[in-house]
């Protein structure tokens, strides 16, 4: 996953040569460019006539139409990406609200004198959201994610199982 700082956009422009996609495509792009240039050179030298010259005079229109079409595709792709991001944001907010509601329900259902059990279940709900975030980012849980249990002097028997599992 690419981490991007919106305030540091100027240096991000110059890091494009380090991207994996460009590194893979650059030799192919250069090869196609050399092939197209050599074919255009051969055509201009050996096959030039009035019809071909007229075609080359109107080639700018073709590139304008092609640029317009590509810009529309880019806009549609950007809108789709934004819609996906917003859907994920909405679902994450729903998950956060559901976890809060479960914690509220547990606090109202469990006996008042059993404060340790309340804290334990609240910490488990917190750990669930963190483990889901780590899973979605293809990362693993680390021991510092379990600090909430240590803050409340709670014992988590499943800690070693959770750390060794592939989330």
- The pLDDT tens digits of the residues spanning 97-115 come to 999 999 999 888 888 888 8
Question: What pLDDT is stored for residue 143 in this prediction?
Answer: 67
Q: In terms of Cα–Cα distance, which of 140, 148, 143 is closest to 122?
A: 148
Q: In terms of Cα–Cα distance, which of 7, 3, 20 is closest to 139?
A: 3
Instruction: Using 70 as the pLDDT threshold, list the residues of the chain that sit under it.
Output: 1-4, 6, 9, 12-19, 48, 50-56, 143, 145, 148-149, 152-167
8 Å CB contact between 141 and 134: yes
Interatomic CA distance for residues 38 and 95, integer angstroms? 58
126: its two tokens = 């917190």
- The pLDDT tens digits of the residues spanning 56-78 come to 677 778 888 889 998 988 888 88
Question: What pLDDT is stored for residue 12 in this prediction?
Answer: 67
Question: What pLDDT is stored for residue 130 in this prediction?
Answer: 84
Q: Determine if the pTM surpasses 0.85.
A: no
Please return the burial class of 102, using the count of CB atoms within 10 Å of its CB with bins 0-12, 13-18 and 19+: middle
Interatomic CA distance for residues 12 and 113, integer angstroms? 55
């Amino acid at each position: 996953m690419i981490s991007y700082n919106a305030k540091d956009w100027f240096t991000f422009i110059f890091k494009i040569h380090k991207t994996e996609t460009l590194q893979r495509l650059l030799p192919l792009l250069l090869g196609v460019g050399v092939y197209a240039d050599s074919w255009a050179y051969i055509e201009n030298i050996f096959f030039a006539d009035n019809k071909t010259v007229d075609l080359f005079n109107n080639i700018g229109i073709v590139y304008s139409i092609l640029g317009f079409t590509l810009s529309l595709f880019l806009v549609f792709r950007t809108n789709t990406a934004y819609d996906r991001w917003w859907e994920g944001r909405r679902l994450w907010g729903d998950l956060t609200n559901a976890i809060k509601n479960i914690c509220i329900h547990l606090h109202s259902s469990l006996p008042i004198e059993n404060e340790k059990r309340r804290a334990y279940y609240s910490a488990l709900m917190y750990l669930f959201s963190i483990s889901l975030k780590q899973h979605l980012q293809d990362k693993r849980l680390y021991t510092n994610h379990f600090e909430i249990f240590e803050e409340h002097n709670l014992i988590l028997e499943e800690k070693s199982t959770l750390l060794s599992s592939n989330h």
